[in-house]
Structure 1
Amino acid sequence: MINLQLKDFQQQTVDFLLEKTIEQHKQQQIIVKSPTGSGKTIILISYIENYLLNYPNTIFCWFTVGKGDLEEQSKEKMERFSPTLPTGNITDVLNQGFECGTTYFINWKTITKKGNLALKDSERKNIKQHIADAHRNNKQFIVIIDEEHLNNTAKANDIIDAINANYEIRVSATPAQNKKAVFYEIDEVDVINEGLITRAMYINKDLNAETMENIQTETTLLLKKANEIRKEIATAYLQENEDIRPLVLIQFPNLNDELIEFVEKQLADMGYTYENKLVAKWMSEENTQDKQRKSKKLGKINVGEVHSKDSVTHNNAEPVFLLFKQALATGWDCPRAKVLVKLRENMSETFEIQTLGRLRRMPNAKHYGRDILDCSYLYTFDEDYKNEVTGNHLGAEYKRVVLKDEPKGIELKKELRDKDADFGDESAVRKQLFSFIKEKYKLTDDSKENERRFENQGFKLHSYLEAHYLEGRFETLKKIQEEAAHYQGKSMQYGVNTHDHGLYLRHHIDSLKKYTGLSYEKTRQLLEIYFLKDAGEPKFKLLHLSLKNFYAFIINNVNKFKTLFMDFTSFSSKAQHNLNLGDYNQIRLEKFSIPIEEMYPIDSLAKEKKLLDRNVYHDYNFAMIAGILRSTSERLFERSCEQNSNVKYVYKNGDSGQNYLSIVYTTQFGKQRLFFPDYIVQTQDGATWLLETKGGEQANGQDKNIDKHAKVKFNALQDFCQKHGYKFGFIRDKDGELYLNNTEYVDDMSDERWQPLEHHI
């Protein structure tokens, strides 16, 4: 049996898995939410050991992520804690096939990476052929997917489908949601109570930063504070007679050689170098951006291998600082790591809360009753904290549907953007935006008075950059996220340096491009014309800011500018006609036919699966409009069409891509954007309707429509349909009923322009 006494919550998890994987249970997929440090590997090993006692011929495939050699760590743990269990890897599968009673540890990258041998056709069988052989011999599989949220790819799912396991057990600290799966969550507090992870996490303990010059000065301060706390922890371990050397992790945002060299020099000045073995490094390329940087800092120094005596993960290993990039955030086990310094390249990066899991393990699985040893420590100036993103639809099922014969003859027009269109009439845009800003904030021709009025509107006109950092003691990861969402943090000031903060300004202006639709250069040009002293024509000047104050104004108020530009792009009632675009933005007109095949998400647990006969596709049913797959107005509309004898066909249009019907509309910045009406409806009298559904009104009159471009899209749809002889309308819901407007767009649904849908169709 496993050479380790399980904690109560671990044994409860094993018992749950055993109960759910006996033969009479029909639900194939089990998701376990397991906090980092809860011992999920030990839980799974114990489960496998117990399961094989009853079903010795089962084959386990244990899939791990492609970072951090997690499959080797997991395999080594099974061989150490349960040495009687046979283990294997992808090489064993390719050489000998699948053997009953064996657990195979397989890294996803060995079977999904382009050019891998596991899927290639050659003289030797590939993994799919070995899977087929196992099925022909009636061998049974159970699949374990470690860090399951990271590998929801087509190739990975293709392998899982081929294995066709009796059960899939998916384990992660941040699992993707799937309503079909059985869900089990290990409570983080239970893990803390058993002494496996730290009691709390300190963020920026005793940092006391008020003014900073640049990224280098903040980096120096973070390293200094991290080393101070490391020394305190080391002293405390000695007082407890523990042979543990606490490790500081230094995480870089990317392969920035200049920043890496700066940190190496700072550590060397403090007496820590690669040569004296006190510093280790693990840098690898993880994405296209990394490769483009052509870093000279790649590789490992003083890290050692998982099983080696010189592994940095040992409690008494020599290195006390480890420089790394993102790769360690997943599947890397080093309980002596107690302090994390998260650096940044610019001043607007986000901290992934999941990374803190690297710091939470207690080296000897016990608390000491001393805060310095029972807590972990993070030092960072990152302002945004978030959990790793896991989408609600990652596990969604899709159903392929085929077009009925008669709708194949439906042919309509669609519009596409001019590929060469850019910015239209610059002077018209400049004038309109100037007038909009002046009117919105009630500005004057007096720059000093305008400063006061901008401040009254919440703008900051400082000569310095304003920043905030989180500080405090937090018991759980959830509390960090909650606190970060509601607490602004301690404030800090940076003196503006146009050289050091040039990249930072660019980053912020780049973030505005999404709202203007313009290039960085043209977005910056507009801002300079309005706010920078001696730039552009005097008649467009709203403020006369020096260059440093201009930097501070844009950077400190970037969110205000996002709102401003969003309002501007949607304020016109006839945006397409307001600008003199000349020959810049010629719209391309093409034919549109309904796609022969389509893939729609489907809620397989939906109670109602009756066919929607008026849809253009065979087998389109109510399960495709259930739950979160459709908005309320969409679901009500499709149901109403099904009950309406005047409706002949309904088609749900896609929301992006050249296969679908699109209409061009033009923003106030002169940029063309595509709009995809939600539905095409053909009625029994041969009329064609293009219809867009929007959020309606709640019972208290509150607007549920969040699309600020609704009016502009309404006008574009109206113009398009009048031009080509189609009928049109916007549809919204109120009190469970649908209302259509095809005259002039207004938000207020009590307005007479919103008429009951049945009055029109």
Structure 2
Amino acid sequence: MKTLKYQQDAINELTDKAVKLLNLGGARRKIVFEAPTGAGKTVMTCQTLANIVDELRTRGDSRFKECAFIWFAPRKLHLQSYMSHKGAFGETRKLTPVMFDELDQSEGIQPGEILFVNWESVNKEKNIMVRDSESSASLYEITRRTQQELGLPIVAVIDEEHMFWSNTADKTEAVLERISPAVELRISATPKTAHPDERTKVYRQDVIKAEMIKKEVVLNPEIEVSSSEDDTALNERLIKIALEKRNQIAEAYRAEGVSINPLLLIQLPNDKKEAMTVEDEKVAAQVKTYLKHMCDITEENGKLAVWLSNEKSNLAGLEKPDNLAQVLLFKEAIALGWDCPRAAVLLIFRKLQSDRFTIQTVGRILRMPQQKHYPNDLLNVGYVYTDIAKEKIDIVTADAGYILNDTITAHRRANLCNVSLKSVYSERPNIERNYLGTDFRNVLYDTATDFWKLEQGAGLFSIAELAAMRGDEDEYQPLPETDDLTINENRRRVQNSIRLDVKTINIEIPKDVHFQNEVQTLSVERAKFARTAGEIDGVFIAYIDGKGGQFERKGRTDKIASFLTELIADSFGIYETDAKKVVLYHENRPKFDRLLETALEKYARKREVAAAKAAAARVYKEHDWEVPEQRVYYAETNRVAPAENHALLPFIQLNTASNPEKEFVKFLEANSQWIDWWYKNGDNGKANYAIEYHKGQDGEKGLFYVDFVIRMKNGHIYLFDTKSAGSDIFAADKHNALLEYVKENSTAEQPLAGGVILQQGSNWLYSPQHIDNTTDTLNWSCFYPQQA
């Protein structure tokens, strides 16, 4: 391996800063180590740890003579780092890499040992590694023995530091706080730590100068404009162009006399979800079909490798320079810790509304396979192709929240002393469900009739004149007369406001954009491609899918799409794909936006009136509620939050949780010595705890989902709903209903208390009496858990 000045400079700087912080004493002193992908972060960190050991032993003024290390890494990256260190120190034994099951747990981490830990194995309370058992000590107990019994400071390495933030930031902080390392070395190409004690940075230009990575990245090079509508979908054009670039690179390597088979990486659209979506399956099938029939690239002949959650093939030896595979089809799995320097071209498919891809993904094609640049600059550049159709493209970092599982499941704590509370629920009739019914068709038609009746003047310029002024390639041509007089009349009425003779719908994608692989927003020049009929269907559905968000999703998009195309057919005599072109045409779209928004709002108000009538006659059913055995949360709207005394673990909190809720959770956790457990309730459905109440002067019945159920260690149950003063116009109605509920259901075995509760300074106030509002708290009581 080459000896590189920038690496040695970084190693020396990191060593000096780490030893300095160790000598200062204290805990959780942070060093951020920032270096671009391909710079050799693992190699530099490995040597830094070895140097720290040497420095502590040889410096006469060191506070410590020895130390221990923990290396945290997300997913399976800890295994890769473990093997790297095993190889590096196999002979010298200067450092000893160990896995959790190799550690002598009764002794703690020994001097010079590096304990490699998978982050996902410690960031949940139920995980074995953080729980003491008869057969093993927890990580927390091991680190305590290391620090207190052996007297060793711990240096914690947080590899791919950016992955430890977003949805898991609070949990990261909680784990590190319990371990309390002396120094934290946080490594990333895109670090998130805001105010470290020290920072060391390797600059991209130094890594390029050392010929370790490519000089730049080019987005969609040599894209040829296609303005005619043919049978070739954009996806297939991009596959063809990307494969041609791979073949050019292969020929260039042969000309250099180098045995390297360049690899084309093709990423499926939904990289935020590990599981395959319908869209992913469709694109994957299209890619495989094209590669097989047009290029003779298949899994069977070894030229196609697949790395998907439900399918893996031809992955053995994929990283070798002369491996047979020419194309790798993947989603997200390779974006972390995968090193394949022969990867040269990246094709990124994206969902229609997407405008971003990640530094980590682009970084896969930046390494130089022989750690040198070549005379032919074709080999010194990374090539990215994408179907992103935006004027600006964001290049972002991938953190732990970038990859989403659809759900998070929390489980009831073992041996929980449960409660049994009378709860009510309602089986809503269809009229009360917020769904889009078939009667929306009539509302849409009536709204459209009003629109068409408005005979709009030509204004300053006609549609034809505006098209000519813009230099549109297709000349405006009014549609010919039909035998239907109503259709002719409708066409005449809208002739100056809606273009009906739409021949093509274009997509504009970036063209020849040169950039460095850093967090940034690119402003791009774009090339036009005519959409095929199949692509138009997809774009149309994506457009419609963004409408009617106030209604339940099930069936909504299909109904709006069907009714709108029927409307255009009935009104203008334009059918199927041609009707969708009319809607999608860039100057027509604002008019259809307004038409749909108006019709949907009218329909929503119509349903509200009907639902209110039905609600007044609603009958609630009663059942016994207890803390559920498990609860499933949507990952996109919730996150794991720090809490150890919640009835379900891990504690899952809404991303939009109110400040009073979050502050009350902190208050409950701080008083765990008096609280047996607490439970944050949901806000809908039979599975969540609710009581009946009556709203306002009209007395409309409703369900009140009380925020918190709290069981004290003395057996008392408190039912609290957090508010801020004046935040809920029905707060008094809910509070008074809860007081009546408490009065009727409290027993000697299960005494109840509670009400609306709000924070005032360091106190939490609630009223044991009926209230008229939440602003006058003069006679309210304080909730003191130690006295409850």
> What TM-score, normalized to structure 1?
0.62
Q: 1:229 to 1:616 in 2, by over 3 A?
A: closer
Q: Which residue is 1:188 aligned to?
A: 204
Q: Which residue is 1:470 aligned to?
A: 510
Tell me if structure 2 keeps the 8 A contact 1:461–1:553: yes
Q: Which residue is 1:353 aligned to?
A: 358
Q: Cα offset for 1:381?
A: 1.8
Structure 2 residue matching 1:249: 3-state secondary structure:
strand
Q: Cα offset for 1:125?
A: 0.6
186-195 or 46-55, which deviates more: 186-195
1:65 pairs with 69, 74, 79, which one? 74
2:387 counterpart of 1:381: yes
Tell me if structure 1 keeps the 8 A contact 2:162–2:398: yes
Q: 1:619 to 1:237 in 2, by over 3 A?
A: closer
Tell me if structure 1 keeps the 8 A contact 2:219–2:511: yes
Structure 1 residue matching 2:555: 3-state secondary structure:
helix
Tell me if structure 2 keeps the 8 A contact 1:335–1:360: yes
Q: Which residue is 1:552 aligned to?
A: 581
Q: Which residue is 2:725 aligned to?
A: 681
Distance 2:234 2:723 in 1: 54
Q: Which residue is 1:754 aligned to?
A: none
Q: 1:147 to 1:417 in 2, by over 3 A?
A: farther
1:125 pairs with 136, 154, 175, which one? 136
The one-letter code sitting in structure 2 at the alignment partner of 1:23 is: N
Distance 1:258 1:433 in 2: 32
2:521 pairs with 482, 487, 497, which one? 482
Structure 2 residue matching 1:176: 3-state secondary structure:
coil
Tell me if structure 2 keeps the 8 A contact 1:247–1:319: yes
Tell me if structure 1 keeps the 8 A contact 2:345–2:383: yes
Tell me if structure 2 keeps the 8 A contact 1:680–1:688: no
The one-letter code sitting in structure 2 at the alignment partner of 1:510 is: D
Distance 1:553 1:181 in 2: 59
Distance 1:253 1:425 in 2: 29
Q: 1:215 to 1:328 in 2, by over 3 A?
A: farther
Distance 2:665 2:328 in 1: 58
Q: 1:332 to 1:682 in 2, by over 3 A?
A: closer
Q: Which residue is 1:30 aligned to?
A: 31
Q: 1:161 to 1:589 in 2, by over 3 A?
A: farther
Q: Which residue is 1:411 aligned to?
A: none
Tell me if structure 2 keeps the 8 A contact 1:532–1:544: no
2:186 counterpart of 1:149: no
Tell me if structure 2 keeps the 8 A contact 1:34–1:186: yes
In the TM superposition, what whole-angstrom CA distance separates every residue of 1:575-594 from its partner, at most 9, and x where no partner exists?
Answer: 7998554535669999xxxx
Q: 1:205 to 1:134 in 2, by over 3 A?
A: same
Q: Which residue is 1:493 aligned to?
A: 530
132-141 or 326-335, which deviates more: 132-141
Q: Which residue is 1:134 aligned to?
A: 146
2:545 pairs with 500, 503, 510, which one? 510
2:340 counterpart of 1:330: no
Structure 2 residue matching 1:38: 3-state secondary structure:
coil
Tell me if structure 1 keeps the 8 A contact 2:30–2:184: yes
Structure 2 residue matching 1:78: 3-state secondary structure:
helix
Distance 1:426 1:548 in 2: 25
Q: Which residue is 1:362 aligned to?
A: 368
Distance 2:726 2:666 in 1: 19
Distance 2:339 2:614 in 1: 57
2:291 pairs with 267, 282, 288, which one? 267
Unpaired runs of 5+ residues, structure 2, are 57-64, 271-275, 403-424, 456-485, 621-639, 643-658, 668-680, 697-702, 708-720, 735-770, 776-788
Distance 1:427 1:243 in 2: 64
Q: 1:223 to 1:448 in 2, by over 3 A?
A: same
Q: 1:424 to 1:475 in 2, by over 3 A?
A: closer
In the TM superposition, what whole-angstrom CA distance separates every residue of 1:186-213 from its partner, at most 9, and x where no partner exists?
Answer: 4333333332221111222223252687
Tell me if structure 2 keeps the 8 A contact 1:94–1:118: no
Q: Cα offset for 1:15?
A: 0.5
1:103 pairs with 109, 114, 133, which one? 114
The one-letter code sitting in structure 1 at the alignment partner of 2:217 is: M
In the comparison of the two structures, how many residue pairs are matched?
577
Distance 2:158 2:299 in 1: 36
Tell me if structure 2 keeps the 8 A contact 1:416–1:587: no
Q: 1:688 to 1:488 in 2, by over 3 A?
A: farther
Tell me if structure 2 keeps the 8 A contact 1:9–1:190: no
Q: Cα offset for 1:273?
A: 4.0
Distance 2:589 2:158 in 1: 40
The one-letter code sitting in structure 1 at the alignment partner of 2:357 is: E
Q: 1:323 to 1:441 in 2, by over 3 A?
A: same
2:555 counterpart of 1:521: yes
2:319 pairs with 313, 317, 338, which one? 313
Distance 2:401 2:533 in 1: 43
Q: Cα offset for 1:327?
A: 0.3
Q: Which residue is 1:240 aligned to?
A: 256
Q: 1:689 to 1:534 in 2, by over 3 A?
A: closer
Q: Cα offset for 1:374?
A: 0.8
> What TM-score, normalized to structure 2?
0.60
Q: Cα offset for 1:436?
A: 7.3
Q: Which residue is 2:99 aligned to?
A: 89
Q: Which residue is 1:583 aligned to?
A: 613
In the TM superposition, what whole-angstrom CA distance separates every residue of 1:428-465 from its partner, at most 9, and x where no partner exists?
Answer: 9778777877889994495325654554xxx8973444
Q: Which residue is 2:651 aligned to?
A: none
Distance 1:561 1:520 in 2: 26
Q: 1:6 to 1:571 in 2, by over 3 A?
A: same
Q: 1:189 to 1:449 in 2, by over 3 A?
A: farther
Distance 1:92 1:343 in 2: 43
Q: 1:679 to 1:127 in 2, by over 3 A?
A: closer
In the TM superposition, what whole-angstrom CA distance separates every residue of 1:25-54 from its partner, at most 9, and x where no partner exists?
Answer: 766233334322222112211221221213
The one-letter code sitting in structure 2 at the alignment partner of 1:546 is: Y
Unpaired runs of 5+ residues, structure 1, are 286-294, 305-310, 395-414, 591-598, 602-611, 621-653, 666-671, 691-723, 729-761
Q: 1:113 to 1:527 in 2, by over 3 A?
A: same
Distance 1:110 1:582 in 2: 50
150-159 or 29-38, which deviates more: 150-159
Structure 2 residue matching 1:170: 3-state secondary structure:
strand
In the TM superposition, what whole-angstrom CA distance separates every residue of 1:98-132 from its partner, at most 9, and x where no partner exists?
Answer: 22212233223444589865346544214424334
2:490 pairs with 444, 447, 467, which one? 447
The one-letter code sitting in structure 1 at the alignment partner of 2:212 is: L
Tell me if structure 1 keeps the 8 A contact 2:164–2:400: no
Q: 1:213 to 1:8 in 2, by over 3 A?
A: same
Structure 1 residue matching 2:258: 3-state secondary structure:
coil
Q: 1:348 to 1:464 in 2, by over 3 A?
A: farther
Tell me if structure 1 keeps the 8 A contact 2:262–2:342: yes
The one-letter code sitting in structure 2 at the alignment partner of 1:469 is: I
Structure 2 residue matching 1:191: 3-state secondary structure:
helix
Structure 2 residue matching 1:477: 3-state secondary structure:
coil
Q: Cα offset for 1:516?
A: 3.6
Matches within 5 A, 1:43-58: 43-55=44-56, 57-58=66-67
Structure 2 residue matching 1:364: 3-state secondary structure:
coil
Tell me if structure 1 keeps the 8 A contact 2:505–2:536: no
In the TM superposition, what whole-angstrom CA distance separates every residue of 1:566-610 from its partner, at most 9, and x where no partner exists?
Answer: 9759999x97998554535669999xxxxxxxx999xxxxxxxxx
Distance 1:217 1:205 in 2: 18
Structure 2 residue matching 1:283: 3-state secondary structure:
strand
